[in-house]
Amino acid sequence: MNGTLTIAGLGPGDAALVTPEVSAALADATDVLGYAPYVARVPARAGLRLHPSDNRMELQRAGEALRLAAEGRSVVIVSSGDPGVFAMAAAVFEALEAAPELHDLSIRVLPGVTAMLAAAARAGAPLGHDFCAINLSDNLKPWPLIEKRLRLAAEADFAIAIYNPRSANRPEGFARALDVLREAGCGGRTIIFAHAVTTPGERIETMPLADARPEMAGMATLVIVANSATRRVGRWVYAPRRVS
Amino acid sequence: MNGTLTIAGLGPGDAALVTPEVSAALADATDVLGYAPYVARVPARAGLRLHPSDNRMELQRAGEALRLAAEGRSVVIVSSGDPGVFAMAAAVFEALEAAPELHDLSIRVLPGVTAMLAAAARAGAPLGHDFCAINLSDNLKPWPLIEKRLRLAAEADFAIAIYNPRSANRPEGFARALDVLREAGCGGRTIIFAHAVTTPGERIETMPLADARPEMAGMATLVIVANSATRRVGRWVYAPRRVS
C-alpha cells in the first residue's frame, strides 16, 4: 500500500492561520474529503479531486478516505480548526479499528489552530490559566454526562471552552448549560461569545454570565466561560497567571 | 502612539507549524522579545532587534514590550505554542493593567498550535472527546489547587493534558500528580509522554498510567492522560466520539 492518509486541520477560517505543513499536504494531495464548507476552503487545481460530504457523515467519510488511500491515492481529510478536537481524527481511527487489513496504512495527523485558541486570542487571554473544553452536542453522549462535566468544571474553577453550544435540532442544550453554570455559582463569571472567529463575519461579545441568553449562541459560536479570577483591562479579558 | 504590540505563538517547534499570520508579523517587526530559546527560532535580519531574556522574566519582558511599542516600534513578543496557553499573553495584559496610560495601545494576539494539539496528533486523537489542560507548575498557584483540579478532572473523565509536568526545581510535583490520579482510579487509563514534540528530538511513549514513573517526564515533555474510554488501534490512541 503506497497510498497515504493525512488528517489535517484548516484552522478556524482565515487562510493566514493554515499551517505551512497543512498547505504542503494539500498541494501534494490527489483527493480531499471533508464536510462541504471545509472542502470549499481548499484551492481547486488540476489533478485534485474534491469529495465534499454532509455533516454527520463522519464515519462514512473516514471509511471512504481509508479506502482511497488503500488504493494508492494521496488522501487528505480536512477538518476546521484542529482535527483532533471534536473533529475527524477520532472518526478515522474508529474506522481504522474496523478495518484490520489497513492497520499498516501510512497515516499522519497534522494539527491546526482550534477555535478556542483563536477566540481566546481575540478576547485577550481567558485560557491563560487551567481550562477545559466541552462539546455541548449530545448526539454522541448523554446529556447528564454533559451536565456533570459542567458542574465539575465549575467546581475546579476551570475556564470552560464550549464547542457546538447550539444547533437547529437541539436548541435547548445551551439554555440548560447556562442554568447549570448559574446554579454552580458562575453567574459572576465573564462569558465570551466568539462568532465566526477569524472570518469576515467575526463578532466578539463579552458580558457577565448572569446576563447571557441562550439565543446569543449560534451554529458558528465558540463560547468561553472565564474562570472566577479573570479580569478586564480595557477591551481585553485575561486570566491572571497567579492564583491563591 | 503609532507603535504596535503583537503577542504571537510560534507553535511547538517545527517551522512548518508557524502560521503565515505569525510569519508576516515577524517580517514586519522592529523588535522581537521572548524567552531566549524562542527568540532563537526567529530568523535574524537587518533592522530587526532581538531581545532574548531569561525564563521567569515574563512580567518584566511584558513591561519592556509595552514600553517599546509606546515609543512607536513594531514589537512582537513570542511564546512557544499558543501565546494564550500558559504563556505570554496573560503576562502582557497584567502589565497593561498596571499601565493605564497605555490602554489605547494597538495590541493583537496571534494564536498558534499549542503543544497538546501537536502531541495529540502524534499519538492519534486522545483529545477527541472532552478534555482539560492543567499546568503542573506551582510557581504561581498553590499545590492543593492543582491536586483538587486533577481529582475533579479524573471524576469528570476528561482527558487531561499536563503542561510543565516537571522542572529541575520542583522534581516532586509530577510524582504526586501520578499518585493523585492512581488514587482517583485512573491507573488503567492510557498515559502519553510526548517529548520535544515536532523537533528532531521528538519521542512519544504510551503506556498504562499504572506503569508510568515520575522520571519519564522532563522539561520538554507534554503529558496526556487519556480518558477512560480511550482505545488503541495499531500504534494509535484515540478517544471514541460516542460515550454512554
pLDDT in tens, B168-196: 777 799 999 999 999 999 999 999 999 99
Nearest residue of chain A to residue B135 (CA atoms): A130
Q: Distance (Å, rounded) from C-alpha A183 to C-alpha B206?
A: 39
Which of B6, B59, B94, B227 is the mutation pick for testing A, counting most A CBs within 10 A? B94
Q: What is the residue type of B226?
A: A
Report residue B210's pLDDT band, with 50, 70 and 90 as the boundaries.
Answer: very high
Hey, is A95 helix, strand or coil? Answer: helix
pTM for this structure?
0.98
Residue A64 distance to chain B (closest CA, Å): 18
pLDDT at residue A1 is higher than 70: no
Percentage of the residues of chain B whose pLDDT score is greater than 70: 100
pLDDT in tens, B100-120: 999 999 999 999 999 999 999
- DSSP code per residue over A59-93: HHHHHHHHHHHHTT-EEEEEESB-TTSSSHHHHHH
Chain A neighbors of B87, CB-CB under 8 A: 128
Chain B neighbors of A238, CB-CB under 8 A: 89-90, 93-94
Give the Cβ contact number of residue A196 at 10 Å: 17
State the average pLDDT over residues B150-164: 98
pLDDT in tens, A102-139: 999 999 999 999 999 999 999 999 999 999 999 998 78
Beta bridge partners of A34: A52, A78
pLDDT at A243: 87
pLDDT at residue B207 is higher than 70: yes
Closest CA to B92 of B73, B69, B118, B71: B69
Contact yes or no for A102/A5 (Cβ under 8 A)? no
Q: Which run of H or of E encompasses B90? A: helix B88-97
Report residue B1's pLDDT band, with 50, 70 and 90 as the boundaries.
Answer: low
pLDDT at B101: 95
Note whether B93 contacts A236, CB cutoff 8 Å: yes
Which of B28, B79, B82, B180 is the mutation pick for testing A, counting most A CBs within 10 A? B82
pLDDT at residue B243 is higher than 90: no
B234, three cell numbers: 495499531
Specify the pairing of strand A221-225 against strand A159-163.
Answer: antiparallel
The angle subtended at Cα B61 by Cα B8 and Cα A237, nearest 5°, is 55
- DSSP code per residue over A33-53: EEEHHHHTTSPP-TT-EEEEE
Beta bridge partners of A167: A170
Pick from B14, B127, B149: which is nearest to A156 by CB?
B149
Mean model confidence pLDDT for chain B: 96
Q: Distance (Å, rounded) from C-alpha A137 to C-alpha A171?
A: 10
Q: Distance (Å, rounded) from C-alpha B83 to C-alpha B72?
A: 22
Beta bridge partners of A207: A191
B67, three cell numbers: 514600553
Could you give the C-alpha distances from A135 to A86, A223, B148, in angstroms and in order? 7, 10, 23
Phi-psi region of B51 (alpha: psi -120 to 50; beta: other; left: phi over 0): beta
Which residue in the block uniquely carries the three cell numbers 446576563?
A211
| ipTM value for the complex | 0.97
pLDDT in tens, A26-35: 999 999 999 9
The angle subtended at Cα B201 by Cα B199 and Cα B203, nearest 5°, is 100
pLDDT at A55: 84
Q: Distance (Å, rounded) from C-alpha B78 to C-alpha B103?
A: 21
E-strand stretches of B98-228? 106-110, 124-125, 131-135, 159-163, 190-195, 203-208, 221-225
